[in-house]
Amino acid sequence: MLTPLIAGNWKMHTGIRQGADLVLKLRELIKGVTDVEIVIAPPFTSIYHLSHLVADSPMQLAGQNLHWLKEGAQTGEVSGEMLADAGCRYVIIGHSERRAYFHETDELVNKKLAAALRAGLKPIICVGETLAEREAAQTVSVVSTQLRGALAGLPTGALKDITVAYEPIWAIGTGKTAAPQDAEDVHNALRELLFELLGSAAKPVRIIYGGSVKPDNIDSLMGQPNIDGALVGGAALKAEDFARIVKFKAAASEHKA
Ligand code: 13P
């Protein structure tokens, strides 16, 4: 059983003060949680400030994106080394919004993944299909191509710290979550592909689900054998909601008692 990972992607929301308020609330609400790894990905401008506020809490920081070079004349970009320097341990790569609005291809995701590993960051690699692709029964082939492209040519031993996030595009920000069994089927296919590509290095790789994860659907999603956590957007901006999602295990044991 892998330690679940619950990650909050704040996207382009929160200034420094608002982000600090959210982290301070979360610190109280998730005090003592040790059975889940908790990551938050604020905008770049807040990372360093928040690094002081998450210290000695269960929260770790992630960047939402990185450039593949260490440094250079790349106006407006931020490198993995800079993210690590500011306090990040993780970085999200290839989010569907980056693929759609910033033309990120599988080749670029692959370069960014190599750069994240070089910088000592743990990458969260996003894959997911559009509604049209799902309706055409292409989901598994689309996410498999994305995952193969992301990992291409990288040494398998270096990939044990990656996380794969399955985020169906039609479920992001829409309130429509994949049915737990449908998500499970895709996670299962991704798991098989990881073992095919990485062999035993695939064992510690978590596959997390994203797309309208909320307090009222986290328990059924986490009840699936191949769902190892969640990548949460909107609900990660509300302290109580994110804390409830993080504490899904406590809720499950209360339910049993
Ligand atoms: P929502 O949870 O708002 O659907 O966003 C999901 C997401 O894109 C997380 O990366």
What is the tens place of the pLDDT at every residue in 181-201? 999 999 999 999 999 999 999
Tokens 């559009």 -> residue? 130
Half-sphere exposure of 66 (CA within 13 A, CB side): 38
**Distance between terminal CA atoms of the chain?**
22
Determine contact, residues 21/244, Cβ cutoff 8 Å: no
Across the strands, what pairs with 209?
166, 230
CA 55 to ligand 1 center in whole angstroms:
25
CA 114 to ligand 1 center in whole angstroms:
24
Q: What is the mean pLDDT of residues 126-144?
A: 97
Q: What is the mean pLDDT of residues 56-76?
A: 97
Q: What is the mean pLDDT of residues 118-131?
A: 98
Q: What is the mean pLDDT of residues 99-119?
A: 98
Tokens 């790569």 -> residue? 93
pLDDT at 147 over 80: yes
CA–CA gap between residue 109 and residue 127 (Å, rounded): 10
pLDDT at 250 over 90: no
Please write the tens of the pLDDT for every residue from 32-58.
899 999 999 999 999 999 999 999 999
Q: Which residues contact 123 (CB under 8 A, 6 or more apart)?
A: 90, 91, 92, 93, 112, 113, 116, 117, 161, 162, 163
Give the residue, by CA position, lying nearest to ligand 1 atom 1: 233
CA 173 to ligand 1 center in whole angstroms:
6
The atom of ligand 1 lying closest to the CA of 214 is 2
pLDDT band at 154; cut points 50, 70, 90: very high
The atom of ligand 1 lying closest to the CA of 95 is 10
pLDDT value of position 32:
87
To the query of whether residue 95 is one of the catalytic residues in this protein, the response is yes
Give the residue, by CA position, lying nearest to ligand 1 atom 7: 233
pLDDT band at 253; cut points 50, 70, 90: confident
Q: What is the mean pLDDT of residues 60-64?
A: 98
CA 172 to ligand 1 center in whole angstroms:
5
Query: What single-letter amino acid sits at 119?
Result: A
pLDDT value of position 102:
97
Please write the tens of the pLDDT for every residue from 216-245.
999 999 999 999 999 999 999 999 999 999
pLDDT at 256 over 70: no
CA–CA gap between residue 116 and residue 122 (Å, rounded): 7
Segments in the chain forming alpha helices (H): 16-29, 44-54, 80-86, 96-101, 106-118, 131-135, 139-151, 180-198, 218-222, 239-246, 248-256
pLDDT value of position 135:
94
pLDDT value of position 68:
98
Within 6 Å (CB) of ligand 1, which residues are found? 9, 95, 167, 172-173, 210-213, 231-235
Which two structure tokens, joined as six digits, stand for 119?
Answer: 């910088």
CA–CA gap between residue 219 and residue 125 (Å, rounded): 23
pLDDT at 257 over 60: no
Most distant CA atoms of the chain, gap in Å? 59
pLDDT band at 255; cut points 50, 70, 90: low
| Structural domains of the chain, ranges and CATH numbers in brackets | 12-169+187-210 (3.20.20.70)
To the query of whether residue 71 is one of the catalytic residues in this protein, the response is no
Catalytic position from the list 95, 97, 129, 184: 95
Average pLDDT, rounded, for the chain: 96
The atom of ligand 1 lying closest to the CA of 92 is 10
CA–CA gap between residue 30 and residue 195 (Å, rounded): 34
Give the residue, by CA position, lying nearest to ligand 1 atom 2: 233
CA–CA gap between residue 81 and residue 67 (Å, rounded): 10
pLDDT value of position 33:
93
Please write the tens of the pLDDT for every residue from 84-96.
999 999 999 999 9
C-alpha distances (whole Å) from 79 to each of 17, 162, 174, 196 are: 24, 18, 31, 31
Nearest C-alpha neighbor of 211 from the set 177, 234, 184: 177
